[in-house]
Each structure stands twice: as structure tokens, then as C-alpha cells.
Amino acid sequence: MTHLHSKRLSGLGPGRVLATVVGLLAALVLGASGEADASAGPSPVAAPRWTDQPHGFASLAGGTTGGAGGKVVTVTDQASLARYAAAEEPYVIRVSGAIAVEPFGSDIVVASDKTIIGVGDTGEIVHGELHLNPGTSNVIIRNLTIRDSYVEGDWDGKTTDFDAIQMDTVDHVWIDHNRFTHMGDGLLDIRKDSRYITVSYNQFTSHNKALGIGWTTNVLTEITLDHNWFTGTKQRNPSADNCAYAHLYNNYLSAQVADGDPTWTYGNWSRGRTRMVIENSYYDGVQHPYQADATAELVQRGSILKHTTGRTDAWGTAFDPRDFYAYRLDPAAAVPALVTRFSGPQKQIGGVTLRVPADYATVQAAVDAVPDGNTVPVTIAVAPGTYRAKVLIPASKPNIVLQGTGQDRSDTVIVYDTPAAYGGSTGSATVRIAANDVTARNLTFSNDFDEAAVELNGEQALAMKTTGDRIVFEDTAFLGNQDTLMTDSPKLTTVSRVYVRDSYIEGDVDFVYGRATTVIERSVIKALSRGSATNNGYITAASTWTGNPYGFLITDSRIVSDAPAGSFHLGRPWHPGGEPEAVAQVLIRDTKLPAAVKASPWTDMSGFSWRDARFTEYRNYGPGAEVTADRPQMSDADARAHTVADYLRGSDDWAPHAHH
């Protein structure tokens, strides 16, 4: 089986005017790179603006993966959060809504191999602390608000130790896109030789002691702090004590608490024997922006100081961060706008990505990790390769995005070779999607059963079967022979909708079929020759419920074929089990047809006449589009009510095509 590589169709049909849309991406949008400071040199490999992979020191020495490989759970109460966070096995824990911790100021212990992430920007931990005990390793904490354990009158935090996050002697921790505010002691305490830490895109607000690092005589901690916003804080922004390497870049310090304290109101402090590098940060209204003990080293370059007073120490050579990792350095002048916009919890970050095979050995293992009743999109990112295994996305696991990560859809193939003779039509499907709200992109689905090599009574061999609603296929390929792509619904009178765009489908007999409302747009459909001079097969076999006005719409597409001229049908009406209420509806419009299409392209099936079905064409073109007496044409008036939007809208105004 061969198929066309990913390619967007354009110039479809005579007289059609196609607009060219040019997307201009600003420097502060998803994945964009900022200008590097001229003195810093180029950054050949840099972390994108949004990524669920840690950068900086947390990416070194094996990296930080958190709960990857474990099950995904969603928690809404303290007991569930505490249970999963302290478990021995890995978990990806999604925090949905605010969780009030009792007793006030209590710890939630976080064990190794955990990801704790807020759902959208809703996840909050109130009146409590996340606590990492000595020996804890491999933890990711993202997209949360942790707030309000402050004890009235205890400004210095001397009577309580109610931090937002506290960790002692841990390694490989990534703290990213959180908001910390108004806690009892420190907002973030990284203590006692903790190593390989990255703190990025967080907000530290309304507090005395923001971020302390160290409290040890050893010089072991390696830490990266970038794109954090310290505002309305007094000190420890951060205080770094005896750090082997402390790399601070593109941080924003503003609106420092001004209480007249001449010493303990400050920005960054390199203490003990710390080696600190500060790059392209922005200090506005800060006393002692950056300072260093005589025993420490501090290198500063490219930062902007505005309305500042006091110390700006710089001595020693410290270290070169690029000896350890690559990073993007945004210009200091852009930092206030950049950091205020993109720090703290973000709606776009609250999803979860499960990687195959890096974290989950198979696609099915990743699907199995998604919780039943899933309400938040989970992306299963499938690396390039051929995965010879069946996949079932059950009805209990909605909101999944199946994403190939190769450059082309042909790079990532899910394939098996079962015919219907061994398990029935449904059992033959390489991939089955029974859940709602599933999207697949940049993938190839194949059933490579060789129908020519064996003689079987059941040679149907599905590459894909769907029964869920609101299913989207973008830049995908479906490879097979008979019954390649089945879009169905749970029962006759239930309407499911499927949208296929910029894709490729091939087969010979009934290879686009079923009763789901299905739109195939801007795609290539290849009708394969079976070697006959007169009848090589049928493209569609719809079984639309008679109460559903919308069955199959093939639009703005191209049908191609290697079959002889006049040897292929556009379709036939399928009445499963002789069901009289399954009355096919198919419209092919604005589509190029090959010479292989018959002059009478619709035909009967199992005793049911094609003339009783709802078969029409509209404004097709190409050598196979000649209008004859046996080719019903839709009127202009009816065509206006048979658009992509009409087919997909339903009662919930579903409009996946509007994203393009």
C-alpha cells in the first residue's frame, strides 16, 4: 500500500478563488523565540515558550519526567491529592478547582515520580504546603496557585513554617508556571543540597521572604531561575546560599515592599560560596537589585535597572551556563511584558501529554493511563515509527488527542493485519475509537491484510472504526482495501459526527462507509484497482438513518484512481441486516473525479435500489464528472443547506472546521 505524503490541497475546481493566509507570529506567542542579547551569543537549541519538558538544570543528569509513565488522575479534594501525591508509584495528578487544606498550614507530602498540575488555570491549594522529604526525586509541580497560609501579625514567619513548597535534599524538580502568594514563611524553600532544580515562569507576590535556596555548608545545588515575576515581595528574590551554580535570567522584579529596612529588603543575593550568573533581567523599584558576599561570585550582563537604589555587586567569573545547557535569552526590555503575560497559571498548560514510547511503551498503554470520564484533553504524542498493534479508545475515555510527532504523517504508522474472518468486521479494525471528542493528527492508520494472498469469506479489513461523536482526523492517512474507514454510531438512531480534513483514504470495496455524519474535506481518496475492466469497487457504502438528513459529504477534495476508465462506482446503499430505516445519504461536491468513475456511478446493494437512497452530486469536475441521466445533481438552493457547517453543527454548534 502506498499513499500520498502530507499535502494541503489547493486550487480545487475551476473558477474558485483561493485566498492565501499568511500567519504572522509575534515573538511572545506559542513556541516563538525571543531576540538574544547581542553579548550573549546565539542559542542554537532553546526551550520553546510553552513546553511540558523541563529546561535548565532540571533537564540534566537524566532529566526530570515527573509522573510520566504512570496513570493520570484528577483530584478535587485534599484526601485524594494527599493519597496520590504520597503514593510509591508514578502519577500525573491534575488539580481541578480549589482544594482547602485542613488543618490550616498542613503539609501535603509529595513522593518521587509525580507530576502535579493545575487543570487550566483553576487548580489551587489553599492554606497548605507541598512538602518534599529528603531523598525525593523527579517531581514536576506546574500551573497551580498556592496561597493564603499567612498568620496575621507574623510578617517574618517566625512562629510558623507554612511555605508554599518546601524541599530538603531532593533532586530533579521542576517548578513551573505557578502563583505563590501570602503564605506563612517562605513561598518556595529549596534547602539542604537539593540538586538539578529549575524554577520558571512563576509569580511570587504579596509576601516577605519569597525564595530561599541553600542552608548548607556544602556547595552542591544547581538551579535555574528564569522568567519569574517577583512583585510585592521584600527579600529572597532569591537568596542563594552556597549554590554550586545559580543561573538567573529574564526575571522581573517590581513593586518591592518598601518598609525602610536598609539591609533585608533586596533583590538577588549570592551568598556564601555561591556562583551566580544574572542575565537580561529587569529591576523596577528595587533596593539592592543584586548583591554578593565577598566569598561569592556574581556575574551580571544585560539587565535593566529602573528606579533602583543600593548594591549592584559584580565580581568573579562564576560560570558559563552554556557549558551546561542551551537556552533562549529574551531581551531585557521585553521582560516586563513577557513575564507579566506568561508567568503564573495558564489555561493552555493544564493539559497532559503522554509520550509513546518514551514514557509508555505502546499507544494502548498510554490510552489505558487516561482516566475514565476524562474531562480535560490529554495528548498522546506518538514518536515516529511503525506500531504493529491494535488500539482501542473506549467510550469511557473521551477528550484524547492522538498526535504523531514526525515531520510527515507517513512517519508514524499504527498497523495490524486482521481480516473480518478472524473476529468480525469490528474485530478486524486496527484502531477503534468509541469515545467522544477524540482528535487524531499527523498519523497513518493501516490494515495491511493482503486480500489477494488468501481466499476468505470475510476479507473486510478495517484500518479505522469510529462510533464516538465529535471525532476529528487532520492530516491523517487510512490504508486498506475493503472497508478501510468505517464511521459509525452506537445505534441506528444515534447521530455521531466525524470530520476528516487534509487526509488520504485508499481502498477498493466500500472503503468509506457507515452511518455517522461524516465530512471529508480537502482530502485525497484513492480508488484502488482490483484488476477488473468493468467493476473494481465502490467508494462509499453509507447506512444513514432515515431521520438524519446528513450522511456523507465529500467536498473540495480529489478522487484519484489507477483503475481502468468507467470501472468504479461512487457508492451503493448499505442496509445492515436488511434494516429499512438505514437510507444512505451521500453528497459529493466541488470535487475532482477521475476517468475511472462510471457514467452511472451509483449501484444497488443486497436488493436495495440506489434510486431509493439519497445520492447526489454538485459542481464536480474532472474526466469522471460528466453529468448523465443516472447522476442526480443537487440544486443550488439545496446545496446552500448542505455545507460543512450544516453537516457538523448538530445541537451543540460543533464547528471543528472553523479552526482552519
Active-site residue numbers? 483, 510
Q: What is the 3-state secondary structure (H, E, C) of 127-171?
A: CCEEEECCCCEEEEEECCEEECCCCCCCCCCCCCCCCCEEEECCE
Separation in Å, CA 302 to CA 234, 277, 325:
23, 11, 19
Report DSSP state, residue 566.
Answer: T
Residue 348 — left, alpha, or beta (φ > 0 → left; ψ -120 to 50 → alpha)?
A: alpha
User: What's the one-letter identity of residue 658?
Assistant: A
The amino acid that residue 204 corresponds to is: F
Residue type, 32: A
Residue 272 C-alpha cell reads as 556564601
Number of helical (H) and strand (E) elements in the chain, helices listed first: 6, 48
Q: How far is CA 40 from CA 93, 314, 413, in A?
A: 38, 17, 42
Please tell me the distance from the alpha carbon of residue 211 to that of residue 204, in angstroms, as a whole number. Answer: 8
Q: How far apart are CA 635 and CA 566, in angstroms?
A: 25
Contact indicator for 476, 443 with CB cutoff of 8 Å: yes
- In whole angstroms, give the CA distance from residue 634 to residue 642: 9
Q: Which residues pair with 203 in a beta bridge?
A: 179, 229
Name residues whose C-beta falls within 8 Å of residue 168's C-beta, 6 or more positions apart in sequence.
132, 133, 134, 191, 192, 194
State yes or no: cis peptide before 238, omega within 30 of 0: yes
Angle at 506 between CA 503 and CA 509, to 5 degrees: 140
Full 3-state SS string of 577-638: HHCCCECCEEEEECCECCCCECCCCECCECCECHHHCEEEEECCECCCCCCCCCCCECCHHH
Strands 165-168 and 352-356, sheet pairing: unpaired
What is residue 343's three-state secondary structure?
coil
Q: What is the DSSP string of 313-335?
A: --BS----GGGT-------GGGH
DSSP string, 518-546: EEEES-EEEE---S-SS--EEEEEE--BT
